[in-house]
Amino acid sequence: MRRITSFLFVFLAAAMAAAAPLTVVNVGAPAINCKFDPSCKITVTDTVANFTLPGTTGNAFLQSRTWPRGKPGTVGAGKYAYEYRLDLTHLTGLTAQGCVTQLKITFGPVVSLNYNGVGGTEQVFVTTAGGLGSVAPSSVDKTGNVVTFNFNTPVCSGSSPGHGQTSYFFGLSSTKPAHAVTATVSATAGGPLSLNARAPQP
């Protein structure tokens, strides 16, 4: 009986730790702003963490963008939006092309909202129109309190300064205001990088 109980405990723990896929939808700006403010204008707060990759020169960065709490009467009323962007525009490959393949952030509970107005709700929005970027996450999943953004088509450095890639802004929402966290970036070369970012408080 004890062996069976132990097995069930391990099985349930493994099931709870399994990655759960999040629904991703493409949106445009400034329409996404209207989900949080009737004026469709948002005053954002940005945090930037610089990094480089093996075989490259120059500067890349992870941008964390936080929005104020959504105003009454909007889809995002009472919620905080969090956006992220990986910018390798000014990272130049010398001996290799450096590319980011994954971003992990400790985010906590994710709020589902109707971001694109089509019907139903989603957990992740990607601003593919009206903003910066050319690369979108291929999938997003959540394990415990960690959200993972996967880039099967990676965000890569360029052959000269100014010719690298940047991701689109991609975001999620929470009921909690921001605090400092450590994000993890994985690339095609070298080990994982720990970068400063912002995400919801626990």
* Closest alpha carbon to 195 in 93, 63, 70, 83: 63
What b-and-e string marks burial along 28-38, b requiring 16 or more CB atoms within 10 Å of the CB?
Answer: ebeebbbbbbe
User: Does 14 score more than 50 pLDDT?
Assistant: no
Task: Give yes or no for a contact between 137 and 201, defined as CB atoms under 8 angstroms apart.
Answer: no
The mean pLDDT of the chain is 93
Q: Kindly report, residue by residue over 42-83, the tens digit of the pLDDT.
A: 999 999 999 999 999 999 999 999 999 999 999 999 999 999
Residue 22 CB contacts under 8 Å (≥ 6 apart), including other chains:
110, 122, 123, 124, 140, 141, 142, 147, 172
Q: What is the pLDDT of residue 152?
A: 98
Q: Kindly report, residue by residue over 129-158, the tens digit of the pLDDT.
A: 999 999 999 999 999 999 999 999 999 999
> Domain residue spans in the chain?
20-200
Q: How confident is the model at residue 96 (pLDDT cuts 50, 70, 90)?
A: confident
The CATH number of 20-200 is 2.60.40
Task: Give yes or no for a contact between 150 and 158, defined as CB atoms under 8 angstroms apart.
Answer: no
Q: What is the mean pLDDT of residues 75-103?
A: 96
